[in-house]
Amino acid sequence: MNKLTVNDLNVKDQRVLVRVDYNVPMEEKDGRMIINDATRIKETLPTLRLLIGKGAKIILAAHLGRPKGKREPTMSLRPVAGELSKMLGRRVAFVEDCIGGKVEKAVAALQAGDVLLLENVRYYKEEEANDPGFAAKLAAVADVYVNDAFGSAHRAHASTEGAPRLIAQRGGLCAAGLLMERELKYLGQELENPARPFVVILGGAKVSDKIKVIDRLLEKADTILIGGAMVYTFKLAQGFKIGKSLSEPDKVDLARAALEKAKARGVQFLLPVDDVIGTPVDTGKLNKKGKAVIEIQNPRTNTQANIPNDAAGLDIGPETSQRFAAIILQARTIMWNGPMGMFEDARFAAGTNAVAQAVAYATAKGAKSIIGGGDSVKALNQAGLGDKVTFMSTGGGASLEFLEGQVLPGVAALSNK
């Protein structure tokens, strides 16, 4: 990587503004916000420990949720300060703002090795607008900048892009954290010249979300396995009937172009040969948001190419699971992004679990497996296999944009070596 990393920094007694992605899933319990998954916090510990060891004064900036410029109490980062303190085994100070007098005071009190977490930067709408005045206030308390928030690096916001640009302009160094470095290594360099066979597994609901990734990986992969509801847009492109399955009829041309590109390049591009389908039934009830509650009834395997008119495809079928698993077991490099079906519902989780198992086995046999964030990470953890793969990204949208080959603004803003 041609970017400076925290390893290159000499930051004794320096004020280091560290952007982290602490946008963790939370839930209200007895009037308190509870963290459901602290992975993103845990993954920043190596960077923080390194900076503490170097004697830096650490100022952490992060966002939580999308409060759109309002002080939404359920989106406060205060509970994160408590969790981080437990994990680090040392005090983490918290300040109820991210700019201004209170922050300046808290920063002035920091000693070498101290850690301070700022309140949600998105309590100001200027954050997402990348407002230069706001960025200047964030930058004002720091000598050096570190970005360890890979999951937010696709956003050109004040804390990810504006502030480092200003710090660099005045001669301050801007470096990648260790998590950022690992993410760029596994999702970047490792996939440039993969050991073969290189098998790519792509799932999820929409072709439109994944088409650019498909297009790019068609240049590298030996085999691409497709699951999830996006299968049905490909099936439309092939002229099959898809019943009530989710699809994007306006993306059929893109799907067809991908199929043709795969053929032209000699990439094995596999769609499911069977599915688990169900019958969506309107319960007549409305959910909290006023939307009709649809229940899926009569889950069953469909071995026909067409889906019956009253049914929707919700998972890859058992025959497909076996075929996919066999291919995954032969792979030496695996990239997986997106579940094979509606895995949150146990009736439609078998396909995703089969893929998760196969990826874990292949890894145990020596393959390198890279999981591109979001729901596939959730599925692996749900199957208890999170520690059985080579690398799991902490990014969702960021991993996708990076895999598409886009330059991430949060990375571009960092100093070159």
Looking at the annotation, which residues are catalytic? 40, 206, 374, 397
Phi, psi of 191 (to 5 degrees): -95, -5
We find the least distance from the C-beta atom of residue 395 to Mg ion, in angstroms, to be 9
Q: How far apart, in whole angstroms, are the C-alpha atoms of residue 202 and residue 211? A: 10
Q: Smallest gap, in angstroms, from Cβ of residue 138 to Mg ion?
A: 21
For ligand 3PG, which is the closer residue by CB, 280 or 386?
386
**Which residue's structure tokens are 């299968």?**
231
182 binds, among ligand 3PG, Mg ion, none (CB under 5 to 8 A by kind): none
**Strand duo 32-35 + 26-29: pairing:** antiparallel
Cβ proximity to ligand 3PG: between 176 and 277 the closer is 176
Pick one of 396, 403, 413, 415: the residue that binds ligand 3PG (CB under 6 A): 396
Contacting residue, 5, 23, 147, 223, with ligand 3PG by CB under 6 A: 23
Least Å from the CB of residue 16 to ligand 3PG: 21
Q: Which does 394 bind (CB under 5 to 8 A by kind): Mg ion, ligand 3PG, none?
A: none
Query: Least CB distance from residue 408 to ligand 3PG, whole Å?
Result: 12
| Euclidean distance between CA atoms 15 and 309, whole angstroms | 63
Size of the residue set binding Mg ion (CB under 5 A): 2
Please list, in sequence order, all residues whose beta carbon lies within 8 angstroms of the beta carbon of residue 327, skipping any fewer than 6 positions away: 199, 223, 225, 270
Partner interacting with residue 372 (select from Mg ion, ligand 3PG, none; CB below 5-8 Å by kind): none
- Give min distance, CB of 58 to ligand 3PG, in A: 20
Contact between 65 and Mg ion (CB under 5 A)? no
Told to check if 127 binds ligand 3PG by CB under 6 A, we report no
- Provide the minimum distance between the beta carbon of 111 and ligand 3PG in the complex, in angstroms, as a whole number: 30
Cis peptide before 308 (omega within 30 of 0): no
Provide the mask over 132-151, with x wherever binding to ligand 3PG is found by CB under 6 A and - wherever it is not: -------------------x
Residue nearest to Mg ion (CB): 397
* Closest residue to ligand 3PG in the complex (CB): 23
**Cβ burial, residue 80 (10 Å; 0-12/13-18/19+):** buried
Q: Does 55 bind ligand 3PG (CB under 6 A)?
A: no
Residue type, 120: N
List the one residue from 5, 6, 9, 21 that touches ligand 3PG (CB under 6 A). 21
| 65, 188, 280, 397: residue in contact with Mg ion (rule CB under 5 A) | 397
- Per CB under 6 A, the list member of 54, 155, 244, 368 interacting with ligand 3PG is 155
CB of 156 to Mg ion, least distance (A): 14
Is residue 401 near ligand 3PG by the rule CB under 6 A? Answer: no
Which CB atom, from 66 or from 71, has the smaller least distance to ligand 3PG? 66
| For ligand 3PG, the closer CB: 152 or 247 | 152
- Any idea of the CA torsion for 337, 338, 344, 347, to the nearest 10 degrees? -110
Q: How many residues bind ligand 3PG (CB under 6 A)?
A: 8
Judged by beta carbon distances under 5 to 8 A according to partner kind, the member of Mg ion, ligand 3PG, none in contact with residue 23 is: ligand 3PG
Q: Are strands 275-286 and 292-302 parallel, antiparallel or unpaired?
A: antiparallel
Q: Which residues of this chain interact with Mg ion, rule CB under 5 A?
A: 396-397
Q: Which residues of this chain interact with ligand 3PG, rule CB under 6 A?
A: 21, 23, 66, 151-152, 155, 396-397
